Structure 1
Amino acid sequence: MDAITCNEMLELASLGAKVLHPRAVEIARNYGVPLVVRSSWTDAPGTWVTSAKPQGRSLINLEIARPVDAVEFDTNQAKVALLRVPDKPGVAARLFGEISRQKVDVDLIIQSVHEGNSNDIAFTVTTPILKRAEAVAAAIAPSLRSQSNPKSEEAEVMLEHNIAKVSIAGAGMIGRPGVAAKMFATLAEAGVNIQMISTSEVKVSCVVDANQCDRAVSALRTAFEIEAGEEGAGSRGELFTPNSSLLTPHSPPPVRGVALDLNQARLAIRQLPDRPGMAAKLFGLLAQHNISVDMIIQSQRCRVIDGVPRRDIAFTVSRMDGENAKEMLTQVAAELGWGEVVLDSAIAKVSIVGAGMVGQPGIAAKMFEALAQQQINIQMIATSEIKISCVVAQEQGVKALQAIHAAFKLAGSEKFVVPA
């Protein structure tokens, strides 16, 4: 590659890409340090790691800089959810393939952990294209009934109009498990309920009621000591798109890299009370035990049990932390009012990263189709602006990586001979 953005490199480095340590990229990003990676074996010019114009920062305590440097929000959002879609290969590919063909640009995509033989898939779009997105979802829903059980209910389309996306962003949150927990606690103290959660290495986003957006932003600015003028691009109704002139004379490719993580485990908590503060308590406990969380998925189906609305929530952690996390969360389940804690260590996470996928509806569909062609079932989906991650069965992880690698033509063409 001639160039790559710091945010793309942070995601790839944190997903296990070698060569650059995430902290090196973080410092280059935060302080505007020119960073270039060159080969030890050739005279090729290498790859420039580029960043937007940095904010003014003190060099004092450089290594312990604050983890969050921006609070962003977007009130121009709406949510479409399909409930009870069959849990089988190809469903996400069909749905998002049709969405792509209709030129519907999707922001966040979340597929929750399965319940029985079905999943929920939710995605957000900008308000002006909600009608088009609704039409696509409604048209495809009847065809998603399970073939193995023709009497099963067809997928139900659910719309949510008055929502907003609130995000915290910062390269310093990598490897600091308490940052997301602090965000959730701050929203809980402000009385803001979280409807959807999306996480990446440099951003945590929550979907909330639109009428709670200002309160949420104000509380987060105070909690993370962000002045009102410090927000970056994306502060209101605008997604951050890297300046292509920083990269190459041509448009950057939509996908920069694909990564496979075989060292994660998934925890699912059933029947979590759907009220402000529950995510804060859950992830606060994990942070207290120094357990970092990666993907976080909140189910879209809400059940009322004993007069209390409840949802399931699932998240991934390092496999080495899985058993300890399950034991700890099971011990407090009765006290905090949630149900069974389920651990699955036989999973793999495959991800694609690329700033160029913003505004290109077909990227997610292409990834899902590559998995469907190999009969690989997607168990969970989580996205950010520049990353799409899927959880699949552990034994299918390598096949998933190879399929996506081939679909996006990420193999290099040059061959190098390492000197003896």
Structure 2
Amino acid sequence: MYDDTILDGAVVNVKDVLFGAKGDGVTDDTVAIQAAIDALFASPIGPDSTVAMEGGIVFFPPGEYVITKPIHLVNTGVKLMGASPVSSTIVPRGELVTDAGGVKKILFDGKEEGNAAIEIKYINKEGKRTFMRNMNIQNLGFDMGNVNKTTMIRVIRPYDLCHFENLMFVNIRGTAIACISEYPDNMQPEPKGLGQGIIFRDIHIDNSATVLDSLKNGQYVTFNKLLDRGRPQDATLPAIYLENVNESYMDNVKVNATGVEVDLAGNVVRDTANQTAVSYAPRSAVLMEGCQGMNIHMSSFNQLSKPAIDIRRGTMGKQGASIYHFIGGNTFEEISDAAIRVDGDAVAAGAGKNASNIIVEENRILGKKQPEYVYVLDNCDLVTIHGRASVKVGGKCTEYDDLCDGY
């Protein structure tokens, strides 16, 4: 560390001549964006200086910033900030490939899944990975352009003062935000760690096919194949994935999939009676594994064919139990599976409960198509539900407190 001065809170602009990002939707801005992030940690800041720079804001003026390789953030105290989520957009671009079965896919950085467009993990001065603190991503949009299954933002062990705020994700088949304790292919990391103190606020995740057709010469013809936000049926991975995350807060998060079914060519699919079918995204909005103390409220989830909120035991990290959650004041619309599922899975003898102490209250269930059971509980206990709802209680769910009005 430098004894003279440490500069904290600097602001760098990715379009500055020092970095050279264009934001024109064509130029590859990967190197420029990475250079702007790295510039926040110059030590020293000049050849004759003993001043060190540590953290600050990376600003994205209005524009579409194309990236073709992962952006890495390996230091704390960084805020990635745009002008607004509709004017400052990061656009991962991939390569169109055809697999052995003849299916065409767009791969980011040559990988179908398991990678991330923005990779966030803290590396300390000893070269070891530890907790990521004081990190903020705000006022940005992300258009995945139908890239297949790549995670947009992945954070390893986020721990206090980590905010995701005023963000929009479109065309996303993979996961928008993943906060995890360790990489999935590293099953026994040492030492293991947890995440906590994360805020998710004002986030919109959208896979909605905008298409129009009309009757011409006795046949329906699709004349507008504008798949501006991606086919809902292509969105297969959880929109938000949390693993071993504690004491965090989710407010005004919307996971949206609207529209009718369309084929790969963008044509509206109609049955023999020329009727369209509602398209459901086969994903969960929020998947939590081994998390504790999560608060989810004032959020909305629609047109999903898997449980909108899925609470599971942890299987990978340090913490297995999923407990002390509060889920209330949310809206679930056109959900064909459960609005909320709690399943602690099998519990080893003497190991305690894997899912318990969960409060669910005053959620709204809307839409023409509603799940057979709004809440599905199994392998859990001490679950309290307030409000009118249908509930399925599995054989291994104990101490369920039904305060439902006519469930």
Q: TM-score with structure 2 length normalisation?
A: 0.23
The answer to which structure, 1 or 2, has the higher relative contact order (CA under 8 A, 6+ apart) is 1
Larger proportion of helix: 1
Report the TM-score when normalising by structure 1.
0.23
